[in-house]
Structure 1
């Protein structure tokens, strides 16, 4: 299988939970984490020099295939968190990201992963290294720095 394990570039994002993201106990609701993951991916692409909207303007999209969330400690309204996003595996058709959320004591409170598939404008899986080599090369370059 043509895949590459990567961990080099880490994108940082500050998360300040909004009150509307909490449940009755004041804990961040589980439905919020995938939104934060998306924010992390968008920031990752921007940090690597290929903004997300540019990727989509070129006619390819990333569709969610698989997602995990591991809740190590409650995340709370009124706290500030640091989310680290990194690309953990790259293939010609899929991207795998990991997201780690840290509290103000630098303790990891949450870990998430996503597996995304490159789709063309007809919503069919595509080998991005062939259909859009400039996009694939940008991800390769970001992981080699």
Structure 2
């Protein structure tokens, strides 16, 4: 089974933090529906894969945020606009970036493009509330806020 492969950033080479992460995914047979196209909900899974890889590229992980800092970023809104069908064995680039943020909210943006042609397959966004382990809203710790602000500014 092919897993995600994080590509190098398309951000400015002078920027400390990248503006966009690209993660390459090859469509598996199990991700398709009876019509032979990728089942629509899988796009949201790919958004998550891209988001996790973007955080890694920024220098930390969801696991670190949760275990070390009691900081969870829970999805409160998710949207996807489908532009073209995605088929079994297609290679898809998941382009993920931070759109904007506040102390208790983070907005990510996504593009799914066909590798090789650059055809836009889907675009979307997710909004996340910053919460503690009990899912009570909290302020994003400053160390993450600083990195996120820099990544947004470099976009």
Q: Higher RCO, 1 or 2 (CA under 8 Å, sep at least 6)?
A: 1
Per-residue CA deviation, residues 75-117 of structure 1 (Å, 9 max, x unaligned), is 1111101110011111111111111011131111111110111
Q: TM-score, normalised by structure 2?
A: 0.82
- Tell me by how many angstroms 1:34 deviates: 1.3
- Tell me by how many angstroms 1:135 deviates: 1.9
Looking at structure 2, the residues matched to 87 and 41 of structure 1 have their Cα atoms a distance apart, in angstroms, of 9
1:98 to 98, 106, 109: 109
- Tell me by how many angstroms 1:142 deviates: 2.9
Looking at structure 1, the residues matched to 71 and 62 of structure 2 have their Cα atoms a distance apart, in angstroms, of 10
Matches within 5 A, 1:113-124: 113-124=125-136
8 Å contact 2:85–2:121 — kept in the other structure?
Answer: yes
What's the counterpart of residue 56 of structure 1?
Answer: 66
User: Structure 1: which 4+ aligned runs deviate by more than 6 Å?
Assistant: none
What's the counterpart of residue 133 of structure 1?
Answer: 142
Looking at structure 1, the residues matched to 152 and 126 of structure 2 have their Cα atoms a distance apart, in angstroms, of 17
What's the counterpart of residue 76 of structure 1?
Answer: 87
- Tell me by how many angstroms 1:144 deviates: 3.8
Query: Mind listing any 5+ residue stretches in structure 2 that lack a counterpart?
Result: 1-17
Q: CA RMSD in A?
A: 1.3
8 Å contact 1:50–1:138 — kept in the other structure?
Answer: no
Query: Mind listing any 5+ residue stretches in structure 1 that lack a counterpart?
Result: 1-7
8 Å contact 2:98–2:151 — kept in the other structure?
Answer: no
Q: TM-score, normalised by structure 1?
A: 0.88
Paired residues in the alignment total: 135
